[in-house]
Structure 1
Amino acid sequence: MSSRITTEEPEDPIGYFLEDLTYHGKSERTRTSYERVLRRFEDFIENKSPGEATHRDCMAFIHSIRGQLADSTVATYAAYLHRFYAYMTQVGVFEGNPMTLVMEEMDETVDKDPTRRDIPIAEMRTFLAGISHPLHRALICTLLKTGVRVGELCNLDLRDLSIDDPELAAAYDLGTRPALANRPDSLYVTPDATVGEVLNGEERTASNKRKRETVIPIDDELAHELKAWLAIRPDTPSPAQPVFVGTSEGWGQRLDPEAVRHIVTRYTKAVGWYRPGGGASENVTPHYFRHFFTTHLRDRTGDRGIVKYLRGDVADDIIDTYTHNWGDQVRETYERNIYRLVSKSVV
């Protein structure tokens, strides 16, 4: 049975809901997404408060965004609005959920496995060639060549990065993780990073979704891009020594996922790979690079197990097999098959 917290509608029901999302531990990105949708709905119903909206108001709102947004995005907007009303009804702020009937009659659904844009390696190489900023090249190349999630990228510290280079060794204390011992030119992805928790002396703004640690090889191209970035990387006040830090706003501060998405969108918009309101089947985002990595490496190796290991997909038999035979199976297979994004010698 739901508990009735209040019998009066707060002055700002949307603000009330967003505050509760914070208490429930939802990420800033999630809260921002909800706020964008709910404020748009609030503007649509104009002089009514959300608590006064009817199912016809909700239907009209959903109809108004059809044609402007991809079907899957329309379904996501509806799901956010439905969740808002369900929660506010459950805690006793609203008397009912006007989105229930709308959800039952909608044709659009959230596509959990969309068919994504097909970008050949040669086209991705051209895309990367158009990026000159060392930070932007390094982070995009890291996403493309390792398949890490954007949060995992943001959580990388210098201790997680091993590059066999005497100049870097003289300047930075790299690769001090025990898991990187005798594994030069590789990076370590921890399962221990969680939003709001302190790791390596710094509170984290993103979570890693892996259940097990993963060591991912770095080829010569990625090592070159990372070295070019580290050569100009600003000093950082963080005791954790993050790999990727800001060079404009938030100078020297660890990049968060939203900053990385902003950087990626800047370039994908410029080449027509991103449209505001476009769905996952159309837009190239940081997560698309994980899809690109998975698709092309799997096609080249024919080894789904190694790709699953590198992605951090949970399967103890896979993790254990490749962890214990990392050098022979993981590194050799990776180096033999990883696509080239800078040199034209290998397609």
Structure 2
Amino acid sequence: MSSADDSDVDDPADSVGYFLQDMEFHGKSDRTRREYGRVLRRFESFLSGGGPSGSVGIEPGDASHRDCMAFVHDLRRDPDLADSTVATYAAYLHRFYAYMTQVGTFDANPMALVMEELDERIDTDPTRREISVPRMRAFVAEIDHPLERALVVTLLKTGMRVGELCNLDLRDLSLSRDLDGFDVGGRAQLDGRPDSLYVASEPTVGEVYNGEERTASNKRKRGTVVPVDDELERTLLRWLAVRPDPVSPAEPLFVGTASGWGERLTPEQVQRVVRDHATAMGWYESGAGAAENVTPHYFRHFFTTHLRDRTGERGVVKYLRGDVAKDIIDTYTHNWGDNVRETYERHIYSLLDLPPR
């Protein structure tokens, strides 16, 4: 058996090694590969003991969903693992199976059913700072720079991940207003859906997408159409009015205005913007951790918590986050205008003090 961070693929039966090597080809960091390797090798060791079936020597490609459930249950019994860590480890295993199924090495992903159950039982976010909508509104009001405000408001209004934000191109934005000089809304998925953003699932770090090598990966199970309300529209229009000409032919929505003028923003740059404003608000302290610090991921937590509480609609919120399985996301895609947009516009919180048009 290979060690936790070993990616030896001389043995064709070593599916974990194959996956870890492909992660390297996709540009994943050594740290990320070690983390995945540690969890996947632990899963291999668990299976070698027989899993719930008692058959010694099960390989990952032969594991059933019951084997996977038993592994997650075994993780839960580990006193050193918090619920959020168990959820993270399960997500690693899910991504391993999803990838191996996609490339045709495995026939099916036994973690798919397990993840649906985990989504209901485990809060993947640790206990976090509680911020009310009025306090968040005051936070946004202190951000004057058009780009920085657009980044923060987009994250707060859509719940997307920071990598997904950085991967947005002009073609992913559809507005009902005509924008001279901007080729927006080129996505077929946005036809008949004005005032929307399309968050794709495909962009992957290190791979060329829409003519440009990406510096971040999207982690959605499937592409999602997210409504753009009046506040977000006005914020984006203010940004586009001063947006530098982009370097990339992909026409990134968000580009640099200082160092890296006109270049697509990276997650690290967005994180720095949020960290600076959160620090000024007393919401960020080095070393404090996720329980205290406000980061781009906190905005995803804020979006989920407040919109879910206002709507009582777990399905719509999960759709907007891009976290649901294919059958559920198909349901909301087909009922997008009647269900998703209507629910969103009726319940989305206000972040700006805007005069009427």
TM-score normalised by the chain length of structure 2? 0.68
Secondary structure of 1:246's match?
Answer: coil
* Pairing of 1:181-192 with structure 2 (within 5 A): 181-192=191-202
The structure whose RCO (Cα within 8 Å, separation 6+) is larger is: 1
Counting only pairs closer than 5 Å after superposition, residues 52-201 of structure 1 correspond to structure 2 as: 112=84, 113-166=125-178, 168=179, 170-201=180-211
Is 1:230 the equivalent of 2:240? Answer: yes
Which amino acid is 1:161 matched to? L
Written as runs of structure 1 = structure 2, the 5 A alignment for 1:1-347 is 1-2=1-2, 23=24, 25=26, 27=28, 112=84, 113-166=125-178, 168=179, 170-343=180-353
Which residue in 1 is equivalent to 2:91?
Answer: none
Give CA deviations for 1:171-193 in whole Å, capped at 9, x if unaligned.
20101101101100000011110
Determine the structure 2 residue equivalent to 1:98. none
Aligned residues: 260
Alpha-carbon deviation of 1:27?
3.7
Shift of 1:25: 4.4
Residues 132 and 111 (structure 1), Cα distance of their counterparts in 2 relative to 1, 3 Å cut:
farther
Equivalent position SS for 1:321: helix
Give a deviation string over 1:105-139, Cα, whole Å, max 9, x none: x9875662310100000000000000000000001
2:221–2:325 contact (8 Å) kept in structure 1: no
State the 1:344 CA deviation. 7.9
Q: Distance in 1 between matches of 2:161 and 2:191?
A: 24
Would the alpha carbon gap of residues 216 and 2 (structure 1) be closer, same or farther in structure 2, given more than 3 Å must change? closer
CA offsets 1:254-303 (integer angstroms, 9 cap, x no match):
00101100110000011110110011110000000000000000001110
- Paired AA for residue 153 in structure 2: C
**Structure-1 separation of matches of 2:289 and 2:226:** 30
RMSD: 2.6
Q: 2:126 is matched by which residue type in structure 1? A: P
Deviation of 1:317 after TM superposition, in Å, equals 2.7
* Gapped regions of structure 2 (runs ≥ 5): 7-20, 42-77, 85-124
Give unmatched runs, 5+ long, in structure 1: 6-19, 35-78, 87-105
Aligned-residue offset at 1:23: 4.0
With normalisation by structure 1, the TM-score equals 0.70
- How far the C-alpha of 1:163 sits from its partner, in A, is 1.3
CA distance in 2, matches of 1:115, 1:210: 23
Counterpart secondary structure, 2:349: coil
Cα distance in 2 for residues equivalent to 1:111 and 1:321: 30
Cα distance change, pair 2–212 in 1 and its aligned pair in 2 (3 A): closer
Distance 1:299 1:2, change over 3 A: closer
Q: Report the structure number with the largest CA radius of gyration.
A: 1
SS of 2:242's equivalent? coil
Q: Structure 1 residues 21 and 215, CA, compared in 2 at 3 Å: closer, same or farther? A: closer
Counterpart residue number, 2:52: none
The DSSP-based 3-state class of the residue aligned with 2:225 is strand
Cα separation, 1, equivalents of 2:303 and 2:351: 12
Deviations 1:137-173 (A, max 9, x none): 001000000000000000000000011112x2x2201
TM superposition shift of 1:314: 2.5
Cα deviation code 1:196-250 (max 9, x no counterpart):
1111100001000012110000000000000000000000120100000000111
Contact kept, 8 Å, 2:26 with 2:207, in 1: the verdict is no
